[in-house]
Amino acid sequence: MILTKSAVARALQLLQMNPKATGLRIGVRTRGCNGLSYTLDFCFEGHNVRIFIDRRAQLTLLGTEMDYQQGVLSSQFVFNNPNIKGTCGCGESFSV
């Protein structure tokens, strides 16, 4: 998994706002009309800042770039995943 500079900066901001967290966990879950969506939550293990990838999501996330984009009305992490075969109309879910 590749993180852009803006994704790293935002991840560090989130971790600073939650000092007990040691990293972010990234995964996928069944959701939406196309099958899968990304998950992001805090890890509370150890003392180093890390990105953890859920074992079940490793192949799905292989080669994925994680970015953070800010706009006038919203800000969000964006996943550029080369493994995606289709997405739903609302953009909430994808299939591989």
Question: Over the stretch 35-46, which tens digit does the pLDDT of each residue have?
Answer: 788 887 776 654
Residue 16 has phi, psi (to 5 degrees) of -65, -35
Q: What global pTM score does this model have?
A: 0.67
Helices (H), the chain: 5-17, 58-61
Per-residue pLDDT, 48: 45
> Where along the chain do its domains lie?
2-95
Architecture of domain 2-95: Sandwich (2.60)
Residue 24 has pLDDT above 80, yes or no: yes
Averaged pLDDT of the chain: 82
